[in-house]
Amino acid sequence: MPQLVVGTAGHIDHGKTSLVRALTGVDTDRLREEKERGMTIDLGFAYLNQSITIIDVPGHEKFIRNMAAGASSIHYGLIVVAADDGVMPQTIEHLDILTLLGVNKGWVAITKIDIVNDKDWIDLIELDIQENLSKRGFQPLSINRINNITGDGIESLKSNMLDTTSDKKNEYSSKYFRMNVDRVFSKTGFGTVVTGTVLNGMATVGDDIAIYPEEVKTKIRGLQSHGGNTKEIITGDRAAINLSNIKPNVLNRGSVVCTPGILKPVKQIVSNIKIVESTEWIIKNNQRLRFHFGTSEVLGRAMSAGTKKLEKGNNANFILSLESPITVSMDDRFVIRSYSPMHTIAGGIVLYNDIRGKWSNMRDFTKMLPIDPKERFGYLVKFNWKTPMSIKDWKLLFYNSNEKIDLWIEDLSLEQSDEGILYSKDRIERSRDQFIQFFNDSYAKNTFRSVLTIDSIKNALNWSNTWIDIVSKILLDEGIIKFSSGGFSLTNYKIQFSSKDKSDMANIENIIKQAGSQPVLMSEIIEASGQNPKRAGDLVHILVDKKKVQPLDNDLFLIKRFFDSLLLKIRNYFNVNTEMKVADFKDLTGLTRKTAIPVLEYLDKNRYTNRKDNIRLIGEAFNE
């Protein structure tokens, strides 16, 4: 069963660490400085049972960055408020961080009731807590009053936690492994070890693994979870990973350990930012801020896609330009703190995890990008219609919700090709119209060119080969276009020739015919016909379309019946021979070396012959 992570939250000296010790028997203050100062500085970890991990976070405002790192992998919150103090500044900030990261359920522990004799005062504290939770949409699963002297309330809280989490399922269920690193250290006899909470997937001993943003690859040498060795770790597990052949100083808190090839470091992302109600800060365009992604903290600027300033309670899409690379996935949540003085002021969701290009294009794209994952998926499928992607690629991009992609495809009525390429019906209609319009425009400029090459279509429409293949197949099936001579033409298009066109065409055909079995260069046709290069080329291509002339490459031509005769000679040759040398081909055809080589290359390309070093074997085309 996947482990679940509960994170403490609350003001300094409200008893978070003591509460965790009472619940689990573990003192999470592991650092000497923590014990000397009597305060939590870094993250501590304890286990309520084999399925529930508790992360104890520091309450002091100086260590909020450590709290944010711990909260990045929390499923439930454990809000701790001392009865003598009540709700304090870090109580509010911790609550904001939890809810900004999507943690909106948990338990409340009102500690130190033994030093407050006034029950009415504690009732008021509880009402204040409930009001603050309600403002942030945090649902208290139980509110427990804890006597620090007698331990009253501990077992009730523990029982509530065990009962509530027994049927909890993790939000993410990607098969790909990902873990944000919160500690890096070296252990004698083992080497480098990293710890963290598994966000996605499963990893086993011996697996290849990638670490970002450092962009290093290594292997998993060993694994531990709950303090013991294990062969595998899965979503929700608190884990320690022993890495092979890597120095600890290469890695840092904030590194991401994941399946190779699924993520990459980036410095510009699209996000939706919402400012918390408890701040008076305003986010302005291009403002420098602190961003907490997973267990990392990076500086960067929030660039507005339209909103001049963002005030508390409001949200808008921004492009984040970061000073250091990060590794995130779509729909990851993050926390924003002011640059100086440092306060938690906002949170965000990653809407698109790598954006680049002209600012005007990026701004327009960002402005329209939906927050809802399904709507955003549909928007992106339509937006990327000229360069469509496969279902596999979309599932990789929507890493956190890839198991929902198949349902989204059905809900959004998207189409897919035989190869699994996704597209929308309206983009097919738009593409059909553009494809046909391109042909009509081309015919208006050049009435003789009925066949247009795939390259010319691609360059004019700026489509990927994948999209050209999909649209052309649909138009072929509908009978709107036909394939011929290395390109496409409209089925119903017929060239109208004047008497001069017919005369000039006959003259060029005769020039090629007079050469007999010797191929003719385009330059020779132009010189002999007296036509300008464009008109000569157009007339030759019409003869090719009429199957009177055979092109041997872009510059060499032969009368079609001589080419058919050439193929017959080759077939007969291979009936009695297994291989053909260049000299054999020259003797067989009477061609000079100047023309024999390009003709052989054409035959190789079209599989009439199969080249092996300096000899030719019979090609597959003769068997089709």
429-450 pLDDT, tens digit each: 999 999 999 999 998 888 878 8
Rounded Cα gap, residues 623 and 607, in angstroms = 10
Closest alpha carbon to 243 in 186, 200, 198: 186
Contact 200, 177 (CB under 8 A): yes
- Residue 141: pLDDT band with limits 50, 70, 90: very high
Give the highest mean pLDDT range of 118-122, 164-168, 385-389: 385-389
For residue 614 the two structure tokens come to: 């300096």
The bridge status of strand 238-243 relative to strand 216-225 is antiparallel
Q: How crowded is residue 340: how many other Cβ atoms within 10 Å of its Cβ?
A: 8
| Alpha-carbon distance values, 113 to 83, 128, 149, 154 (Å) | 6, 16, 9, 12
Could you list the beta-strand ranges (E) of 279-359. 283-284, 287-293, 296-304, 309-310, 315-326, 333-338, 344-352
For residue 250 the two structure tokens come to: 């290469």
3-state DSSP assignment of residue 24: helix
Rounded Cα gap, residues 544 and 546, in angstroms = 5
- Least confident residue range of 29-38, 246-255, 483-492, 609-618: 29-38
Q: What is the reported pLDDT for 148?
A: 81
Is pLDDT of 67 > 50?
no
Is residue 113 packed enough to be buried (19+ CB in 10 Å), middle (13-18) or exposed (0-12)? buried
Rounded Cα gap, residues 70 and 496, in angstroms = 75
Rounded Cα gap, residues 5 and 12, in angstroms = 21
| Alpha-carbon distance values, 365 to 273, 306, 372, 376, 377 (Å) | 16, 11, 15, 11, 13
Contact 92, 278 (CB under 8 A): yes
pLDDT tens readout for residues 523-538 = 999 999 999 998 898 8
Closest alpha carbon to 483 in 466, 502, 469: 469
Rounded Cα gap, residues 354 and 359, in angstroms = 14
Tell which wins on pLDDT, 50 or 617: 617
Closest alpha carbon to 320 in 362, 368, 282: 362
Average pLDDT, the chain: 87
For residue 27 the two structure tokens come to: 């003192």
Rounded Cα gap, residues 516 and 523, in angstroms = 17
> C-alpha angle 61/92/168, rounded to 5°?
110
> Whose structure tokens read 């065990």?
162
- Residue 73: pLDDT band with limits 50, 70, 90: low
Rounded Cα gap, residues 616 and 606, in angstroms = 13
- Residue 573: pLDDT band with limits 50, 70, 90: very high
Is pLDDT of 41 > 50?
no
Q: What is the DSSP letter of 166?
A: T
In this structure, what are the phi and psi dihedrals at residue 283, rounded to the nearest 5 degrees? -95, 120
Q: What is the DSSP letter of 355?
A: -
Task: Identify the bridge partners of residue 191 per DSSP, sorted by sequence position.
Answer: 187
Query: pTM to 2 decimals?
Result: 0.77
Is the peptide bond prior to 341 cis by the omega test (within 30 degrees of 0)? yes
Q: What is the reported pLDDT for 60?
A: 41
Q: What is the reported pLDDT for 234?
A: 87
Is pLDDT of 513 > 50?
yes
Neighbouring C-alpha atoms within 13 Å toward the C-beta of 514: 10
In this structure, what are the phi and psi dihedrals at residue 357, rounded to the nearest 5 degrees? 125, -165
> C-alpha angle 75/78/84, rounded to 5°?
160
| Alpha-carbon distance values, 89 to 9, 64, 81, 95, 96 (Å) | 12, 12, 11, 10, 11
Is pLDDT of 35 > 50?
no
Contact 136, 99 (CB under 8 A): yes
User: Measured on CA atoms in the order 599, 601, 603, 608, is the torsion positive or negative?
Assistant: positive
What is the full DSSP assignment across 299-311?
EEEEEESS-SEE-
Give the highest mean pLDDT range of 181-185, 195-199, 506-510: 506-510
Sequence-ordered list of residues with C-beta below 8 angstroms from that of 533, at least 6 positions apart, any chain = 522, 526
Is residue 87 packed enough to be buried (19+ CB in 10 Å), middle (13-18) or exposed (0-12)? buried
Contact 15, 34 (CB under 8 A): no
The bridge status of strand 139-145 relative to strand 191-200 is unpaired
- Residue 34: pLDDT band with limits 50, 70, 90: very low
Rounded Cα gap, residues 259 and 176, in angstroms = 6
Average pLDDT over residues 76-99: 89
> Whose structure tokens read 């090719």?
544
Rounded Cα gap, residues 177 and 10, in angstroms = 31
User: Measured on CA atoms in the order 347, 350, 356, 360, is the torsion positive or negative?
Assistant: negative
Is pLDDT of 42 > 70?
no
Q: How crowded is residue 393: how many other Cβ atoms within 10 Å of its Cβ?
A: 13
* One-letter amino acid for residue 316 of the chain: A
Helix, strand, coil shares, percent, the chain, to 5: 40, 30, 35
> What percent of the chain lies above the pLDDT cut of 70?
92
